[in-house]
Structures are given as C-alpha cells and as structure tokens.
Structure 1
Amino acid sequence: MTLQKDPGRLAWADACRLIAMFGVLLIHISAPIFYDFRNIELNSFLVANGLDSIARVSVPLFAMLSGALLLGRDMSKGLGGIVSRILKVAIPLAFWSVLHVFWINYWTGKPMDIPNALAQAWQGPVMYHLWFVYMTIGVYILLPILQPISVALLASKRLAAYFFGVWFAVNAVTIYFPANIVTHLTLTSFLNWPGYFLLGFYIIRSDVLTRLPIWGSALVFCLATLATFLLSWRFNSLSAVPDETAFLYFSPNVLIAACAAFHMISKIRVTPILLRPVAFLSSIVFPVYFMHLLVIDLIKAGMFGFTLNLASMSTFTAIFSLSLSTFAVCLLLAALTRVIPYSAKLVG
C-alpha cells in the first residue's frame, strides 16, 4: 500500500482494517465457547458473550471502510476497472479455497485434486468465513450502480434520510419485529450489504456527524454493545440451542455500534513514525483473513513450535492469548509471502 497525500485519512483506514481483523479473530475464537453455553460455567459464557458482543462490529467495519474508500467517484468515463478489481479478490479466493479443501480432505482421507476444489468453490464458500469474500465480489459487481447512488445521497440529506431509513427498517428492525408484508413487497434484501458500503461512505463524506464528539460516539458504542451483550444473554437463557439473533450484523444494536465505532476510528491519528508500519500491516490483512482459521488449528496443534495451555487459563486469557498469537503468526506468514514477487496477486 502506498501513502497518499492525506496520511491522516489513510492512517485511520489502515488502523480500521487492523482493528476489524483482530475483531474477527475474537469472534471466531469466542464462538466455540459461546456455542457450548449449556455445558460450561455461566462465567465462561458471559466472557465469551461479552468479547463477541464487542467484536461484532468488525465485519460491518470492513464493509463500511470499503464503501468509504471506493464510493463517490464519477463513473461517466468508464466502469473504473471493475473486472480487475473483481479479479484481485477472486484469484486469492480460488487459491485459498483450494488450500482449505485440501486441509479438510487431508483430515478426512479424501482425495486432493485442484479441479474438484475449484468446483466446490464455484458452488459457494468452502469454509464459513469465506462468505464475506463472495459478498465483496458481489458488491464490486454493483459498484457502477452504487457510485451514482452514493453521489446522490451526498447531494441530498432528505434522500439520504429516506434511503437509510428504509434500509434500516427493512434490514434491521425486522430482525426483532418481523413483518410478513415486507417479504411480500420483496424488500427483504433492499441493498442489504451494499447499504453498509454506502453508510460508510456517507459517514465519512457528509457533515451529519461532524458535531458529534468522539466521546459521544464512544458512549453510543458502549450502550449499543451492552444491548448486544444483554440481549444475547437473555435470548440464550431462554433457548435450548445457541441463539445468535442479537449478534446478527443487521440487528439494530450491532448496526448502531458499528456506526459509532466507525466514526470513532475515523478520528484516529497515527504518529508519523508509525505510518509506514501500520500501512504495511494493513496491506496484508487480506491474506490474514483468508488464513486465520487454518492458523488457529495449527497453533492448537503446536505446529509453530509453541503451545498454549488454554485449559489452564481463564476464559478471557485463553481467548485473548489465542487471538493475539493467531494475529501475530498470520501477520508474519502474510509478510513472508510478500518476499515472493507477485505473490499478492495469488494470496491476496
């Protein structure tokens, strides 16, 4: 990643990627404890639930950041290299999908062949975390359509209020208050994830939140996250199976927390001496996202020359230790791939 003329803006974007990536690790490492809530002590569940509640904004942060950096451009002179942008995501997706299929087949004793792995990837995500990459490709396909919409939203506050109001009502409110009529109106996928892209763009480019101090965003984030925690605790206490309703990325509590977190992060200013290191680490977040589930398994198996005695740790310490270790190993591996010429095109 190269430094742009506005280093402050780039620095907060780089910081946002790193924060979001670490949050994804917390989510995936907390998940097994959360799902086992009927067989563990309440304290362990509450810790996992709390960390997951805080980190739930991570995936929306990725989407909003992409929108903030990609939207608002004039598309009248061409499609802006949409195909090349899609290929930058699709090629690494194919590469990592093959690796994940090989990893799964290795442990299940199934044959390993690239055509079969690619065929599986063509049908859909071969690992659950890859759904986000497929979604991103879909949004990239829509970029020429989203660009004029983003410009129109920025030009008219009334249109922006209408658009985001409908988007919030259709995608967020209906999670807790289902309305069959919305389904019949075929509004249930009303721009869905592209709405997050547009929201990120609008938060950064408009003056709507200019007067909101950072402590105000922090307060909103804390209250919305607390709502996620309490709702999740309540729903799971009444359910015989794990209930993720409060964790859904379009739930009102997660959506509001994500907006507040994004606004806070946009105010980050990195000291000049850290600009290049942060920019480099940010540039390798994509392969970190692809590989992190594999690395978690390998760390648990002691394949990197060290072991974590997670069973002897408190729940909080275990989750954080594994998250930090995974993040460090992934960043190191991703950095090493950059030594190979043109590797970024293949691994991300």
Structure 2
Amino acid sequence: MHTMTLQKDPGRLAWADACRLIAMFGVLLIHISAPIFYDFRNIELNSFLVANGLDSIARVSVPLFAMLSGALLLGRDMSKGLGGIVSRILKVAIPLAFWSVLHVFWINYWTGKPMDIPNALAQAWQGPVMYHLWFVYMTIGVYILLPILQPISVALLASKRLAAYFFGVWFAVNAVTIYFPANIVTHLTLTSFLNWPGYFLLGFYIIRSDVLTRLPIWGSALVFCLATLATFLLSWRFNSLSAVPDETAFLYFSPNVLIAACAAFHMISKIRVTPILLRPVAFLSSIVFPVYFMHLLVIDLIKAGMFGFTLNLASMSTFTAIFSLSLSTFAVCLLLAALTRVIPYSAKLVG
C-alpha cells in the first residue's frame, strides 16, 4: 500500500482497480485459510487463531466486489432503454459456462468420469459446479434487476430519509436476524428483502452521497479494525462452543462483516494510485474476473507442483503457509490470465 498516495486527479477510477485487486487477494486468503479453519478440532489452537484471524480480515472481500459493482453501475438514467442488460449478462454468463465446463472436466478427470460438454453445461444450468461460482450466479441475478435498482438508487440519493429507512430495514432483516432470529420476519416474508442487491446499493450510496464525506480515513480504519476484531472474537467464541465448524460470525450479512466491509470500502475509495502505476494496476484489475474463475484450479495445481515449483507448506508456520500459497496463486493466476489476453476476443470466453 506504500506505493499508493493521495492525489486530486487520478485520471480514472484507479481506486476501483485497486479495490478489485484487494478483494481478489482477500478471496484467496479466505479459500486458503478455510481448510485449516474447518480442521480446528485436529490442529493446535495457534494455527486455528492464525487462520481465523486472516479469514476475519479478508471476510470483507466478497461484499467489496458487490459494493464496487453497485458504485460503478447504479445511478444511471434508464428512461431511454434497459442499458444493455442482455449484453452485460452475457459478458458474465459465457465465461461462467466456459469455466463450469473446465471445472467439471477437472473433477471428472480425477474421478474417472467421461468428459461430456453437454452434461457439464447441464450441471451448470442446475447451479454452481464449484462452490466459489455462487457469486457469479448471484451477480447475474443482480444484473437482471439492474433496471429496477437504477431508479431505487437515484431515489436513495435524492432523499436521506428514504436512504435511512431503506438501509435500516435492510440491515435489520439481513444482519440483525443472524444473531437475533425473529420468526415474525419470516412470516412477514421479508427474509430475502433485497439481499445482495442491498450491498450493490450500499456501495453506490457510500460513493455518491455525502454521508461519509466528513469521516476521515483513520476513522474508517478504526471502524474496520474494531469490526474485524469482533469477527475474530465471535468466531473464536462460537467455535470453542461447537463440535463442528461454525461460520456464523463469517456470514457476509453478519453485522460485524457488513460494518467492516463498509469501512473497508470507504477507505479503499480514498486510495489514489501513483501515476506510474495507473496503467499496470488498471491492466491487472481488468483480468481479475478470470483470476476469480481459475484460482481454485491453480491452488490444486500449485500443491501438485505442476508449475515447476513446490511449496513445502508442512514445514512453514501457518501464517507463512497461507500467505505464500496465496501470493503464489495470485501471481500464477494473474500470469495465466494475462497470457489469455494475447488471444483475440478471449475475454468474451474466459472473462
């Protein structure tokens, strides 16, 4: 982060590029910490606490992706058309189909099942073929709702009272009920009240409104640290009382993660990339989508030594093992994604 300084005219939304890269690395930390977290009954407490700590810090990553999309896509006038919704959906759906087939082939290779593209596509039509792809399906769903969300975003920006009401209800229904379940909410049929679209609207509102204008970056940093500490302590507490892994504190709508995500997003929006790094950061940001698709495959391939190097993870401390595998995976994924850009029109297929 030392290479990023404040500047008045970034020339483009360089902070958004930085946000994508930060969020992507956070996703890697989550997925690489997960096996250690899930094995908490069979490992030393110190190893669990390290994995729990890194996971707690990185939990904001997925909400960051959603809020960034909202900040960049919402607030537009839809009166003259639907804003290319179909083309936007296809930009996500085609790579989703491509990578779903690759993931099914990878699984079938190890299980001895036939490589069948129609069958793989049929599986993808039913739902995510790998657990991380849920986010892509959710994104397509929100894109379908964009023409509806656009006027809502404009209305929220025009009325602070409406914004307070909307986000208040959204927070109460989605976040508060995680720790304080209320059956009445289910009977009121509010349980899916603008679930993930709320994060999109929240990202738009944080960037476009003046509500947080006076909040200094150190204030956001303090809120992020306190909310992340709450995530860490709650997760530790819940798991110490449970015979099986408990991810309640890690849920993306838990109050602690939601508040930490808002603070992190506000902080990142203040990032200004030094001019010399504008183009490299913009390019790396442009290939984050295929990195997201491929990262689980790359993790497996690195562990198997398929890229010509091996990481002796067993001999490392938990922190070093997680970080070295995360950095290696990020570097390899970025390289592979960059190489795909050499092929004309490849972005339409791989993302």
TM-score, L = length of structure 2: 0.97
Question: Which one of 271, 278, 301 corresponds to residue 275 of structure 1?
Answer: 278
CA deviation vs aligned residue, 1:68-114 (integer Å, no higher than 9, x gap): 00000000000000000000000000000000000000000001110
| 1:58 counterpart residue number | 61
Runs of 4+ residues over 3 Å off in structure 1: 1-9
Is the Cα contact below 8 Å between 2:33 and 2:55 reproduced in 1?
A: yes
Displacement of 1:344 in angstroms is 0.1
8 Å CA contact retained: 1:170, 1:187: yes
* Contact in 1 for aligned 2:15/2:269 (Cα 8 Å): yes
2:178 is matched with 175
Q: Secondary structure at the match of 1:8?
A: coil
Preserved CA contact (<8 Å) 2:6 2:273: no
- Equivalent pairs counted in the alignment come to 348
Would the alpha carbon gap of residues 299 and 181 (structure 1) be closer, same or farther in structure 2, given more than 3 Å must change? Answer: same
Q: How far apart, CA to CA, are the structure 2 residues paired with 1:337 and 1:2?
A: 31
Equivalent residue in structure 1 for 2:35, among 32, 35, 41: 32
Conserved? CA contact 1:4–1:10, under 8 Å:
no
Q: CA deviation at 1:10?
A: 1.1
Deviations 1:134-189 (A, max 9, x none): 00000000000000000000000000000000000000000000000000000000
Deviations 1:27-75 (A, max 9, x none): 0000000000000000000000000000000000000000000000000
Contact 1:285/1:331 (<8 A) preserved: yes
**Counterpart for residue 315 of structure 1:** 318
Q: 1:46 to 1:234 in 2, by over 3 A?
A: same
How far is 1:6 from its partner? 6.4
The alpha carbon displacement at 1:7 in A equals 3.5
Task: Find the aligned partners of 1:10 and 1:112 in 2 and give their Cα distance.
Answer: 42
- 1:255-282 deviation per Cα after TM superposition (whole angstroms, max 9, x unaligned): 0000000000000000110000000000
| Alpha carbons of structure 1 residues 240 and 3: separation in structure 2 relative to 1, 3 Å | closer
Structure 1 pair 10/333, CA: closer, same or farther in 2 (3 Å)? same
Q: Give the direction of change, closer, same or farther, for the CA distance of 1:4–1:63 in structure 2 (3 Å limit).
A: farther
Equivalent residues of 1:9, 1:266 under 8 A apart: no
1:3, 1:10 within 8 Å by CA — same for their partners in 2? no
Unaligned runs of 5+ in 1: none
Look up the SS of the partner of 2:41 in the other structure: coil
CA distance change for structure 1 residues 2 and 270 in 2, over 3 Å: closer, same or farther? closer
Partner of 1:230: 233
Name the SS of the counterpart of 1:93 in structure 2. helix
Q: Structure 1-normalised TM-score? A: 0.98
Name the % identity: 100
Match of 2:17?
Answer: 14
Deviation at 1:9, TM superposition (A): 5.1
- Tell me how large the CA RMSD over aligned residues is: 2.2
Q: CA deviation at 1:4?
A: 16
Is the 2:6–2:270 Cα contact (8 Å) retained in structure 1? no
Identify if the C-alpha distance between structure 1 residues 304 and 5 changes in structure 2 by more than 3 Å, giving closer, same or farther. Answer: same
Query: Can you give the 5+ residue segments of structure 2 that lack an aligned partner in the other structure?
Result: none
Quote the offset at 1:8 in angstroms. Answer: 5.1
Q: Provide closer, same or farther for how the CA distance between residues 57 and 165 of structure 1 changes in structure 2, counting only shifts above 3 A.
A: same
Alpha-carbon distance in structure 2 between the residues aligned to 1:2 and 1:317: 28
With over 3 angstroms needed to count, the CA separation of the structure-2 counterparts of 1:5 and 1:213, relative to structure 1, is closer
2:223 to 220, 225, 231: 220
Query: Would the alpha carbon gap of residues 200 and 298 (structure 1) be closer, same or farther in structure 2, given more than 3 Å must change?
Result: same
Q: Is the 8 A contact 2:5 2:272 kept in 1?
A: no
Following the alignment from structure 1 to structure 2, what is the Cα–Cα distance between the partners of residues 45 and 55?
15
Distance across 2 between alignment mates of 1:206 and 1:9: 19
